[in-house]
Structure 1
Amino acid sequence: MTAYRTIIVGTDGSASSFRAVTAAGALAAATGATLVLACAYHPMPERERAAAADALGDLAYKVTGSTPAEDALRAAKDRALAAGATDVELAAEPGDAVDVLVKLADERSADLIVVGNRGLNSLAGRLLGSVPSNVSHRAECDVLIVHTTSGR
């Protein structure tokens, strides 16, 4: 088995994605790898951003731009550190999750992408493709699909 030097793990702030972060953090700790926590987001269109700013006032920053993704990444970092990871980087990137994970893996010469199995066994996942399935087909590196949901 090749030693992993850079591990990318996707998170969206959900409980199941945090289980993947914990597994990736433990693996990074065991191998001494750099762990890159990645969160994809879609920029809010200007019209929606303006409506949110009007409705939320001083709290509008919480739902605009990359702020929700950055919040998810900070929470994920705490979990990764608790799992033993020591070298943790954060990446909030605009785009779809699969595109972001594959792009980051290429840019950072990652050896491994870790994703949860959410969507893998769902009807929508079987018809449209799921993040774990699509990442496993597109990535140039190893992909670890962590069992994070019951699959039902």
Structure 2
Amino acid sequence: MSDYTKIVVGTDGSKSSMLAVQRAAAIAAAFDATLIVGCAYYESEEQASKTLRKDSVTVLGDDPAQRNLDAAAEAARGIGCSKVETAIKPGTPVEALMAIVNEHDADLLVVGNRGINSLTGRLLGSVPADVARQSQCDVMIVHTVS
């Protein structure tokens, strides 16, 4: 296995996603890798209402998304990760994370497990399951909720 040089982690500001940020930051610090913290947001209520996943947190607008990123970047630096970048993208969490992974040519994507074991997640898909299927890089699903 080669070292990871670019690690992407998604956050929506929730406690669960911040646990994934902490795990990704620890891995990035260990590999001296760049951590790219990403956050998706919806540009309108209409776009947000089209999301069928009831297990996800909806971030409406880029201001709340930027606040989530700032808090996550600060937490990552507190873990000891010195190379932290942020990326903000409109769209669904899966679309945004895949765009960030591809744009940064990431080696590893870290996400929390929220939604993966829910009924909705099993029927319609979940962010962790969907990114694992679509990603061209390694994916780590962190146990953040029971």
What's the TM-score once normalised by structure 1's chain length?
Answer: 0.85
Q: Tell me the alpha carbon deviations over residues 36-60 of structure 1, each in whole angstroms, 9 at most, x when there is no partner.
A: 00000001269xxxxxxxxxxxxxx
In structure 2, what residue type is equivalent to 1:147?
Answer: H
Q: For residue 76 of structure 1, what is the aligned residue in structure 2?
A: 72
Larger Rg: 1
- The answer to whether 1:42 aligns with 2:42 is yes
Please give the alpha-carbon distance, in whole angstroms, between the structure 2 residues aligned to 1:134 and 1:64. 21
- Say whether the 8 Å CA contact 2:35–2:81 is kept in structure 1: yes
**Root-mean-square deviation over aligned CA pairs:** 1.5
2:137 to 136, 141, 145: 141
Please give the alpha-carbon distance, in whole angstroms, between the structure 1 residues aligned to 2:122 and 2:79. 32
In structure 2, what residue type is equivalent to 1:23?
Answer: R
Please give the alpha-carbon distance, in whole angstroms, between the structure 2 residues aligned to 1:64 and 1:121. 25
* Percent of paired sites with the same residue: 53
1:120-131 → structure 2 map (5 Å cutoff): 120-131=116-127
In structure 2, what residue type is equivalent to 1:111?
Answer: D
Please give the alpha-carbon distance, in whole angstroms, between the structure 2 residues aligned to 1:82 and 1:115. 19
Q: How many residues align?
A: 134
Please give the alpha-carbon distance, in whole angstroms, between the structure 2 residues aligned to 1:18 and 1:136. 19
1:55-66 → structure 2 map (5 Å cutoff): 65-66=61-62
Q: Which has the higher helix share?
A: 1
What's the TM-score once normalised by structure 2's chain length?
Answer: 0.88
1:2-151 → structure 2 map (5 Å cutoff): 2-44=2-44, 65-150=61-146
Displacement after TM superposition at 1:2 (Å)? 1.5
Please give the alpha-carbon distance, in whole angstroms, between the structure 1 residues aligned to 2:45 and 2:119. 30
Structure 1 pair 100–30 and aligned structure 2 pair: CA distance change class (3 A)? same
Q: For residue 56 of structure 2, what is the aligned residue in structure 1?
A: none
Gaps in structure 1 of 5+ consecutive residues: 47-62
Q: Tell me the alpha carbon deviations over residues 55-85 of structure 1, each in whole angstroms, 9 at most, x when there is no partner.
A: xxxxxxxx97300000011111111111111
Gaps in structure 2 of 5+ consecutive residues: 47-58
In structure 2, what residue type is equivalent to 1:22?
Answer: Q
4+ residue stretches of structure 1 with deviation over 3 A? none
